[in-house]
Structure 1
Amino acid sequence: MANIAQAHSTQTPYQVTLTNPQGHIWYADEPNDKGGQDTAANPIQILLSALGACTVITLEMYAKHKGLKIEHVQLDLALNPENEPAAGQNNIRRTIQLKGDFTEEQHKRLLKVAESCPVHKLLTSNIQIKTVLDLDQHPLKED
């Protein structure tokens, strides 16, 4: 199945309901100081969490395939943690903590595996976003 998500506005300012065809529901919001209700992660936190989730899953899949025992994986992710970057540039710092008995060579390989997760590849690729206003589905009402 294709990777599809929908975002729906709500009656609460800046609170968004997110859904997918499988029926999962999650939310986004802005903090109080930006006019939101702070009821959910903000969109940037959701993006960072997608990278974190994908990294953990990729590491766990690799470890299972190779017969490695990972006791626990924790990722800390931050967008532009060292001040604002130059215009058009952004930096994500991803710190990985692995619990398990690994050799230095296995640690190096696990780092490479982390960098090969699909969300990492997507975020480091040249992304093109085509935006279309769908007036047929949601026609504007004339007064």
Structure 2
Amino acid sequence: MAKKTVQATIRQQKYKTEIQAKNHILIADEPIEVAGQDFGFTPTELLEASLASCTAMTIRMYADRKGWDLTEAKINVSFKRNISTHLVTFKKDIELFGNLNDKQRLRLKEIGTKCPIEKILKGQVDVESRLF
């Protein structure tokens, strides 16, 4: 069995899924319109949240290391999927606040593309499933 890093458990309550990583728990669900109960993020929102939070953290780490006056970063992520071509396009809108010049702002935008989740999404990805 693979090393457990994230575990998702669904029981009899339609679509409500408990996700656990270490000692952290969150709920995923589907919207009411598709027979869910809207108790938590949809799986799509979790994917978008992974990219948004990773980008924000990467920008924060870099700004802190450089001693730049970044007071806040807001990352909005959405994606579109072309069913016929299988192309997925993520869009990231980045808002940076603080006393930053244009060169610093552009550098932080560039650094945001180097977050680990974006590297995973841009790389070749395989998923291996095993049944136990």
Q: Same fold (TM over 0.5)?
A: yes
- Which segments of 5 or more consecutive residues in structure 2 lack a partner in the other structure? none
Question: How far, CA to CA, are the matches of 1:74 and 1:12 in structure 2?
Answer: 34
Question: How far, CA to CA, are the matches of 2:118 and 2:130 in structure 1?
Answer: 26
- Which segments of 5 or more consecutive residues in structure 1 lack a partner in the other structure? 135-143
The structure 2 residue matched to 1:90, chosen from 88, 91, 110, is 88
Counterpart of 1:118?
116
Counterpart of 2:36?
36
> Is it true that 1:55 corresponds to 2:55 in the alignment?
yes
Larger-gyration structure (1/2): 1
AA matched with 1:26: L
TM-score, length-normalised on structure 1? 0.85
Question: How far, CA to CA, are the matches of 2:77 and 2:71 in structure 1?
Answer: 20
The Cα offsets for residues 42-101 of structure 1, whole Å up to 9 and x where unpaired, read as: 000001001111111111110110001111111111111xxx535210111110000012
Counterpart of 2:7?
6
TM-score, length-normalised on structure 2? 0.92
Q: Higher relative contact order at CA 8 Å, sep ≥6: structure 1 or structure 2?
A: 2
Structure 2 residue matching 1:131: 3-state secondary structure: coil
Counterpart of 2:126?
128
Counterpart of 1:18?
19
Question: How far, CA to CA, are the matches of 1:60 and 1:13 in structure 2?
Answer: 38
Counterpart of 1:76?
76
Question: How far, CA to CA, are the matches of 2:107 and 2:39 in structure 1?
Answer: 38
Question: How far, CA to CA, are the matches of 2:69 and 2:11 in structure 1?
Answer: 44
Give me the CA root mean square deviation: 1.5
Q: How many residue pairs are counted as aligned between the two chains? A: 129
Q: CA deviation at 1:3?
A: 8.0
